[in-house]
Structure 1
């Protein structure tokens, strides 16, 4: 009979003992995830090679601390559950957020993500288009900008930055709407992702705190990235008045053509109210005493801004939709898995489960 021997669990001793032992034909207990648990798993694998259990050697066991960990009894169990949850979480989020499927969530309309996101985009578009009432104080803002830009130059000549200055004012006035959209839509996505995570961690509640922490971290990081891009987008709109859309010129000329005649008639006939295309019924009494050259320049600015503003708002909503889809794809395909499987989170999981027993 083989005499029982005392075996040190120090990895250095194990390495010297098993250097000439034939490698096992069975795979390691589990793939490496981080530096903390890898040495433990290597030691267990090498001890299995020696068949120390057959020689009656008593080994320290990996046990679970407390009843709250009754579903997991070892490192391999914990890591197997961990891998399974990460995989199923990623697949479910891909199905709900990317592919837009909802058959398995038919009883909860909150999980119809495509429909909810479209509703939020439509609401944003509506808020942007109704943020100004053009019929109130018609041309007053344009006249004020012209007065501020007044200088020594030929009459009826506009400074190049007049339209640019007016554009900055308009963009500043609506800048809070896109930021509010980011907060709203990302708050919704976080609720959806957390619900899916909780559902998948149902059999392993001890893994939920660490995985929820990782999910919240990555959601906050992606939200900040989205908000930064939105802020940059707003700044871009303020510094450049450009579009390749040919509808801009068409709409600008259309608005000027019919409405200029209406305004001229109102001024000569002293009509206090007129109906303008694109504006409805507006009050023009406050324009009676404005010099005609200033009034005409203000009117041209107004029509140009109206035509361009439609394009700006459309471009803004389209850009937000594209950025949202891009960041959602990156979140599901890369960022969530990367964050959950990070060294910090793995250590957090293992610290709650593993203890060396004598």
Structure 2
């Protein structure tokens, strides 16, 4: 199956002579050199693919270029160079009218600030995208009500936006995107304006919806814990460039450079890592005939700690056929928690601080 979305060597430069600036960047110039000449390179040579049904998270600090990158994916910003392909259609080659057609029917966007119309009811807000498409009123209201029910807002259809909490208003924004049945959802810091508990509820809601709807989603965030929780894969951006693309485990265990390693040092690893990520694969065998407790590659880190605390030897990690894939010594668990004291202390669950930055 081919990728649903492809970004190919995307550049976005603001300022004078942007084409010339791209050539300078390709020749090795950096952002600071261009800034000295009054030119800003927001996105530099960004390439990635997004698979059907995948939540692809783009994360980075403020000013890293992630929101600019997102707006090039649906043509709200025209790339200075490069291509965006959606279902093998080159969006960067489309005219304005064709691009508006794609945005109205195939690609929906959920914003950080709810962008609801205060003079329209919850139902009318959820149906707005369908109204733009020219869908008859009865049909758009039916589809809007179905989307609202999916987002936990059944019974609130006739309410006004100012009668809803912030989390409920964001659910209306999500329902509006779902009502159009768009194949691609672009979510720009969609939960960042919410209080922490409501934000986690929205993350739960998105993950639950995804089990059924299997939408292709590009999700922008500056919060590493949110990225780790939501993303099937994560792209880390720095100074306009994508410095690493991988799973949460890839980024935690195999950071591409010192920047990624430092960025992830305070993340709560126990919520992300599994036995397959932390095991020592150099210890192998054809068969594990062991009566004691074992783990599978998907065993969560917290559960692995509990197993290790009950054993006097390393935990064996087995596949479904009971073949030994590797082992996890207690000291290895401690190492992955970043505890250099060497005392496993029953592998208590760590409570690392959330990694957040200003938006």
Larger relative helix fraction = 1
Tell me the TM-score normalised to structure 2 length.
Answer: 0.20
Larger relative strand fraction = 2
Tell me the TM-score normalised to structure 1 length.
Answer: 0.20
Question: Over alpha carbons, which structure has the higher Rg?
Answer: 1
